[in-house]
Chain A
Amino acid sequence: MKFVYKMFSCGGCRTCEMACSYREHKTFSFDDSCIRILEADQGNGYSVSFMHPEGYEDNPCLVCINEQNEPLCIQFCNEPQELTDILHRYVKEIEEK
């Protein structure tokens, strides 16, 4: 199960993906990341998707937002404020399900 959010300020640099894969595996990869940036052909921003921990076996997002340190995807994002808001929405949605 995938949760997808529009992130208007995102430029698609995918540094969040590489930071997330480092957190998980101490290596860099787009494919090991729990957060994924999806292409947008036109218009403002990109889409951010998270792999749901219970519905998706590969690279579930462990919601490290609840941990003491700020999640690495946010630490390495050029637009951390909007990504933080999105992560909060994601947390709320998975808690509701």
Chain B
Amino acid sequence: MRKQTESYCYAGKILRVNLSRVTVSEEYITNEFAKNWIGSSGFAVKILYDELKDWVNPYEPANKIVFSAGLFLGTPMPGACKSNISTLAPMTGGWGSSCCDSYTGAQLKYAGYDSVIIEGRASRPVYLYIDNQQVQIKDGRFLWGNTTSRTLELLRKEYDNPNLHCISIGPAGENLVRGACVIQDRSRAFGRGGVGAVLGSKNLKAIVAVGKGRINAANPDRFMIEVKKLRNQIKASASAENMRTYGNLFYIEGKQNNCGLPYKNFQEVYVPEETAEATDPRKLSEKYFEGRQSAPGCVVKCGVKLHITDGPYKGLHSDANQWETYATLQTRLAVDDLTFQVKVNNLCNDMGIDVDAAGGALGWAMECYQRGILDESDTDGLSLEWGNAENALVLIEKTAKREGFGDLLAESAAKAAEILGRNSSYYAVNVKGLDLYEPGRANLGWMLGAATATRGGGHTTGAVGGYKKLNKTAVTLVDDDVDIFDPSSYEKRPEAAVYMEALHRIVNCFGVCQFHTIHSDQDHFNLVHLIDIYEAGTGWETSVNELKLKGMRQLNLEKVFNLRFTHFDRNDDFPPLREQHEAIPTGPKAGWKFDSVLYNRMLDTYYQLHGWDRETSYPTRKTLEELDLGYAADDLERIGKLGKEEKTWKSMSSM
């Protein structure tokens, strides 16, 4: 057991649960470990890198799950609600890490733990109950087979506690659906990578934490002053009023104007005006607003509760609809009914399936049906014409239960296409096997981040938004005079992506929601705004450069993790084929086409900035050693994947 040293903002301990041996133990976090890896996804990458054997696959008992609460969970730091689940992921076969707004995370901190390492496989369904006195592996048979919302209900009844929170898997996770997620309570998701299927493979249905302890700041008075300052920064931002009224559903307009919404599985990237008007998600807030739902510490208030009072889904209550469901299911499948996005979101959450995995597989299937690659003899007699909401809902349920045609869809679009053959892979829109939910062919910084993401297709680990101008003191990588607002420019995108890679990772470690950062609004936090609160909270000095370095350290370890477990190389850092080859057919950017030469040049610069081999994308020894990752360089050398040094290579320290 590591020796305990006093540290602030941390609970100070990591819990280790072995489900095979039915054992529970604790380890203290050293200050050195905490400083180097910060928390949450940072802790997870180090733990999993060190502990997973090279021969492990995602569903084996030897795979491990790390569930963590971010550094600032349990404090009033604005937006500090994010917890993380990381594991060797079924969707990509490599690094999988997914964050979620989480009450359970804050409770975990108060119960005395920053992270939980879950090992082995239970011999029958179990759930984990954690409080300050004890950690119990409990019989979960009464929960098995239930939806996530019913699981919450049953657990609240079991403990006679209407305020209890849990994270759980639904039928999809139990049935090892590759895109299964883990749901916080009823509506928030550790969505990506298939983390829910790994819980399912371990027979772990749910985790409950009830914390009665305290979290201390090093300098509580200064910490509270910083909290107030940061709260005021969010409240004064340009997006505050829209966020309050519509949640993040208001982003739709910007995405539509940039040709950033998928229609008919990315065949079009601008939603036809009639459909856009009929399905405008802002109407949901205007028509069906019921109340608000915010995770701990939230200031942006994007969670809107809805009550549908008319139409086919009348009577439905929904928490926290997000824009993503609109893109990945409503418009991707070309459904015209406004309230479908609410119904399908609820169904996915109940089944415990990632909305993007469901949308990716259904989009692929509907396009195959359109092209005659699939017909009713493949689909259990279901017709899959565009816009068929009813059959889409039927298929999501069949997917979660692995019934009939759903068993194929449960393998996710990329793998289903491999299994089916018939030249259908082109219509599986993904990066590294993980479904992409938004087009980026005219949004190059966004696309670069999504295509190079270590966990696969998604915009939360490096994508660059449309910032008018990034503050030079905050973003030393981007020159002050470069206006990177034009999304379809290739200029300075690699530099900005590297900055965003660091920012995204640091805020994930802090447990801060990305809507509180420049990811969502350029008036929100960037790294420079996080220095004072980190120092007041932990009592440790830091700087923007140090945080960037720590972000890069994590990224490089994720990268090497992927190289150990997958065959990813430069070829896997490209957008999906359709994005590369098809010009935008309609909308304000009609005719725009992805430029392969410019993208390759952008990728070269990106690798150079990282100190990675341009030919293969592999990190070099020098890069890894500069980040104190010499052992990772040794591992790469052993498997023949160490990057070659280049003369033009730019040192990390000069970035």
Task: Show the binding face of A for B, using Cβ within 8 Å.
Answer: 8-15, 18-19, 21-22, 25-32, 38-45, 75-76, 78
Q: What's the nearest-Cβ distance from chain B to residue A23, in Å? A: 9
Task: Show the binding face of B for A, using Cβ within 8 Å.
Answer: 74-76, 106-107, 110, 162-163, 211-217, 220-221, 224, 227-228, 231, 290-299, 301, 303, 305, 307, 317
Q: What's the nearest-Cβ distance from chain A to residue B297, in Å? A: 6
Q: Is B163 in contact with A31, judged by CB distance below 8 angstroms?
A: no
CA distance A11 to B293 in the complex (A): 4
CA distance A27 to B220 in the complex (A): 7
Give the residues in chain A near B110, CB-CB below 8 Å: 29-31
Find A28's partner among B216, B291, B293 (CB 8 Å cutoff): B216
Q: What's the nearest-Cβ distance from chain A to residue B515, in Å? A: 13
Find B297's partner among A10, A13, A44 (CB 8 Å cutoff): A13
Give the residues in chain A near B214, CB-CB below 8 Å: 21, 25, 27-29, 32
Find B291's partner among A14, A39, A45 (CB 8 Å cutoff): A45
CA distance A25 to B215 in the complex (A): 11
Q: Is B217 in contact with A28, judged by CB distance below 8 angstroms?
A: yes
Q: What's the nearest-Cβ distance from chain B to residue A27, in Å? A: 4
Q: Is B76 in contact with A22, judged by CB distance below 8 angstroms?
A: yes
CA distance A28 to B295 in the complex (A): 16
Find A44's partner among B220, B290, B296 (CB 8 Å cutoff): B290
In the complex with contacts A11-B298, A38-B162, A27-B216 CB distance below 8 A: yes
Give the residues in chain B near A13, CB-CB below 8 Å: 294-299, 301
CA distance A19 to B162 in the complex (A): 23
Please classify the interface of chain A as helix (H, G, I), strand (E, B), loop, or mixed, using the class held by over half of its residues. loop
- Chain B's closest residue to A79 (CB) is B292
Q: Is B301 in contact with A78, judged by CB distance below 8 angstroms?
A: yes
Q: What's the nearest-Cβ distance from chain A to residue B133, in Å? A: 13
Find A15's partner among B76, B220, B303, B317 (CB 8 Å cutoff): B76
Give the residues in chain A near B303, CB-CB below 8 Å: 11
Give the residues in chain A near B106, CB-CB below 8 Å: 14, 30
Q: What's the nearest-Cβ distance from chain A to residue B149, in Å? A: 10
Q: Is A18 in contact with B228, judged by CB distance below 8 angstroms?
A: no
Q: List 27 A-B contacts (CB under 8 A).
A: A8-B291, A10-B292, A11-B293, A11-B294, A13-B297, A13-B298, A14-B296, A15-B76, A18-B296, A21-B214, A27-B214, A28-B76, A28-B214, A28-B215, A29-B110, A29-B213, A30-B106, A31-B212, A39-B163, A42-B290, A42-B307, A42-B317, A43-B307, A44-B290, A75-B228, A76-B227, A76-B228
Give the residues in chain B near A44, CB-CB below 8 Å: 290-291, 305
Q: What's the nearest-Cβ distance from chain A to residue B585, in Å? A: 41
Give the residues in chain A near B298, CB-CB below 8 Å: 11, 13, 15, 78
Q: What's the nearest-Cβ distance from chain A to residue B267, in Å? A: 38
CA distance A25 to B224 in the complex (A): 13
Q: What's the nearest-Cβ distance from chain B to residue A18, in Å? A: 4
Find A43's partner among B74, B162, B221, B290 (CB 8 Å cutoff): B290
